[in-house]
């Protein structure tokens, strides 16, 4: 089946999709992005992702490339054109193309690129994964979902070379910030769910926010606070969350086995509850 992309108002064959060589996203990483998962044709947490896109654009002073309603229609149309029922939508907005200059261009139209692909969501949610810890070397505005991802690229590659699925980044004080492409969670010995609070230090994951709402609805006790690597080693359970991983148990951190080395009861419960949310259970 042919695969299309959407570039600046046009549906084009994916293999020929392109932007200008002086696009500021290419030259300066001057842009933002979102990834929205799709399950059975339904865009999961769509409004949350678009709200975060709006915030990221505002923080970088980039204009919306089109009306929000148009963007929603284009995403659905592209999914239909590409026959994607389970997978993801990737959308990226940059400041646009202009002669290379660090300063904002006086007149440049934002570039909008949207692609889709089929994917198996949360493939390790029932079996669990291993993570490793690495120093957090990113800039100070991690709350903005920019396309400047070189530290995460290096971290993800290091994790792969060490035989792990993900890397958890650690700040200068020994506290876990988040994964290279996920938020980090632990369950304490007395059953409290813990994740780092939203601030400039982490990306406030849309899935993270939904999990907190699900946990509250389930009557689970949770704490938004930093936790050290040593506390994670001693946790009853650990898991990571993202738009494509949902709730995925962490069985080992570095060379330490977490809990009994199997997906924990709370992680499994949250995965099932989030899956119901992703499926639209109770949605109007």
Q: Which of 140, 145, 156, 269 is catalytic?
A: 145
The answer to whether the CB of 121 falls within 8 A of the CB of 39 is: yes
The single residue listed with the structure tokens 């932007």 is: 19
Encoding tokens for residue 182?
């996920």
Q: In this predicted structure, what is the pLDDT of residue 1?
A: 64
Handedness of CA 238, 262, 157, 33 (dihedral sign): negative
Q: In this predicted structure, what is the pLDDT of residue 284?
A: 28
Is 145 annotated as catalytic?
Answer: yes
The answer to whether the CB of 105 falls within 8 A of the CB of 95 is: yes
The answer to whether the CB of 183 falls within 8 A of the CB of 208 is: yes
Which residues in the chain come in under a pLDDT of 50?
A: 282-284
CA–CA gap between residue 54 and residue 147 (Å, rounded): 15
Handedness of CA 241, 46, 12, 17 (dihedral sign): negative
Q: In this predicted structure, what is the pLDDT of residue 169?
A: 98
Q: In this predicted structure, what is the pLDDT of residue 280?
A: 83
Q: In this predicted structure, what is the pLDDT of residue 228?
A: 98
CA–CA gap between residue 186 and residue 209 (Å, rounded): 15
CA–CA gap between residue 117 and residue 244 (Å, rounded): 12
pTM: 0.95
């Amino acid at each position: 089946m042919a695969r299309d992309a959407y570039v600046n108002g046009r549906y084009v064959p994916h293999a020929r999709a392109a932007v200008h060589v002086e696009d500021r996203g290419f030259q300066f990483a001057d842009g933002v992005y979102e990834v929205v998962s799709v399950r059975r044709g339904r865009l999961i947490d769509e409004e949350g992702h678009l709200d975060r896109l709006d915030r990221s654009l505002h923080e970088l002073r980039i204009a919306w490339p089109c009306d929000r309603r148009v963007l929603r229609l284009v995403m659905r149309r592209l999914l239909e054109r590409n026959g994607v029922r389970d997978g993801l939508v990737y959308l990226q907005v940059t400041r646009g193309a202009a002669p290379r200059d660090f300063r904002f261009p006086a007149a440049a139209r934002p570039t909008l690129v949207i692609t889709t692909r089929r994917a198996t969501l949360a493939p390790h949610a029932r079996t669990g994964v291993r993570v490793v810890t690495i120093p957090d070397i990113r800039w100070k505005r991690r709350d903005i979902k920019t396309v400047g991802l070189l530290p995460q690229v290096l971290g993800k590659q290091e994790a792969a070379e060490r035989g792990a699925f993900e890397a958890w980044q650690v700040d200068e004080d020994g506290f876990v910030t988040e994964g290279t492409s996920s938020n980090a969670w632990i369950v304490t010995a007395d059953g409290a769910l813990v994740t780092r609070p939203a601030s400039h230090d982490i990306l406030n994951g849309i899935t993270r926010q939904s999990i907190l709402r699900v946990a509250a609805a389930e009557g689970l006790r949770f704490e938004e606070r930093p936790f050290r690597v040593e506390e994670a080693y001693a946790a009853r359970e650990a898991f990571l969350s993202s738009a494509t991983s949902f709730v995925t148990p962490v069985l080992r951190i570095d060379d330490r086995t977490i809990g009994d080395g199997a997906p924990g009861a709370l992680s499994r419960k949250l995965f099932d509850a989030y899956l119901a949310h992703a499926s639209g259970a109770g949605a109007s």
